[in-house]
Chains A and B, each alone.
Chain A
Amino acid sequence: MIETRPGNIISIKKGSEPKGVHLTAGTQPDDSASVKSLLSDKPLAWPNRTRPLADKTASELPESARERFSRLAQEWREQSGFMSSSTDMTLVPAYQHIIGMGSVAVPLMLRQLRDDPNPAHWFSALEAITEANPVPDECRGNIKAMAEAWVQWGKREGCI
């Protein structure tokens, strides 16, 4: 938001790089249309862009896969942390969204299984995405052993 105070004039100058407008203080505005454009909520008419990334707030920047995974993992904890049912835990929306991320989420889950002393139950998501199941039957329920089986699988596959 641009604020002006008496005696503190915002000047608008058209520059060559990047194309559009620059802001400097101290002189009279010479383009009322540009001022209105700058003060409005509409994006500036940059070639092939709306506004430069530097002008965007954090919430407007595209979310990286890592950021999205972290957000969904936290949401999953909030939605399922009280549950004992391993099936119900995988049916909550955030877990399904993580499955929907596909293969990009695999190394993120594997790194959590490797590094977290309290590994999350990513097993169903990993199986759904990779179609693999490296956990021996006799290890079902031993969460640390299940995590280790997946970590070793990830190393063999070059995922981590």
Chain B
Amino acid sequence: MGYLDFPQALPRLNSNNSEKKSDPDTGYNCIAFAAGDRFNWWWPIGRYWPPGVPREETLDAFVQAFNTLGYETCSGGTLTEDTEKIAIYATPSGKPTHAARQLECGKWTSKIGEDDDIHHTTPQDVEGPGYGEAAIFMGRPRDIS
């Protein structure tokens, strides 16, 4: 399957606002990909989670997870030259579902579950019943690795 095979979950994604960048890989998910990790599946329950961070499916726990990588919450996803940003998505009830990372060109990159890595134009392109909405933006100085 490919990333465009979930139109009910991701109705805004299409071939005009996104493109595939890698093949499916069950070894890592969107949270790991946003964190720069292609070797682990990040999730507080049953998978890798940064040591010391509560293993909870809450936005606060996810913020703390990205705090361990130097990210701090910021106001939005506007591109700034010296800041690398991520977006954490959540359902209306506040349960985290997805994360995306902003590229230097201003586009965003996401791992769609077990499926492809993609580039997409805006953070809103992956909003919908599957992921909810971009709930929190975080940023860190771009030179941190």
Residue positions of A touching B, CB distance < 8 A: 77-78, 80-88, 118-121, 123-124, 140-144
Contact = CB atoms under 8 A, between A and B. Distances in A.
Interface residues of B, number: 37
Nearest to B34: A84
B129 to A, nearest CB: 10
B136 interface: no
Contact of A84 (B3, B5, B43): B43
Contacts of B25: 118
Nearest to A116: B26
Would you call the interface of chain A mostly helix, strand, loop, or mixed? loop
Given A121-B114, A141-B48, 8 more contacts: A80-B113, A84-B43, A84-B98, A86-B45, A140-B46, A141-B40, A141-B47, A143-B40
A135 to B, nearest CB: 9
B113 A83 contact: yes
A123 B6 CA distance: 24
B115 to A, nearest CB: 5
Nearest to B2: A81
A96 B35 CA distance: 30
7 contacts: A78-B5, A81-B1, A82-B3, A118-B26, A118-B114, A121-B114, A141-B43
